[in-house]
């Protein structure tokens, strides 16, 4: 499913695969693999791709609406 999200984000940002791959310092074939579902990106790579497309990854608690992002929580806290 992440492949469809990555492809949608990139297209909505009007960025080519080649351009986004270059901005994120990954091979164009690697990005193509992520978007086709052939390869699975790490969370850090997903975050980098999202940021370059103008998106932010949010985790929202269903019950109380509390929201966490990679920007407002230290990964070393846990």
pLDDT digits (tens, 9 = 90+) for 21-77: 999 999 999 999 999 999 999 999 999 999 999 999 999 999 999 988 877 766 555
For residues 4-10, give the mean pLDDT.
97
* 74 in a structural domain: no
* 13 in a structural domain: yes
* 75 in a structural domain: no
Could you tell me the residue range of the domain that residue 49 belongs to?
2-69
Q: Please state, as a whole number, how many other Cβ atoms lie within 10 Å of the Cβ of residue 50.
A: 18
Backbone angle region of 54, left / alpha / beta, with phi > 0 → left and psi within -120 to 50 → alpha: left
* 77 in a structural domain: no
Q: How far is Cα 17 from Cα 78, in angstroms, rounded to an integer?
A: 34
Q: How far is Cα 55 from Cα 45, in angstroms, rounded to an integer?
A: 13
Task: Count structural domains, the chain.
Answer: 1
The tokens describing 14, both together, are: 């009007």
Domain of residue 21, CATH code = 1.10.260.40
Percentage of residues of the chain with pLDDT beyond 90: 81
Query: Is the pLDDT higher at 16 or at 70?
Result: 16
* 56 in a structural domain: yes
Spatial neighbors of 31 by CB under 8 A, at least 6 apart, are 17, 20, 21, 24, 49
């Amino acid at each position: 499913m992440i492949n469809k999200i990555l492809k949608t984000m990139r297209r909505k940002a009007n960025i080519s695969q080649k351009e986004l791959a270059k901005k994120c310092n990954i091979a164009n074939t690697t990005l193509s693999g992520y978007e086709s579902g052939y390869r699975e990106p790490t969370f850090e790579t997903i975050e980098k791709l999202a940021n370059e497309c103008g998106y932010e990854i949010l985790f929202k608690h269903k019950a109380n609406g509390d929201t966490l992002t990679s920007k407002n929580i230290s990964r070393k806290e846990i």
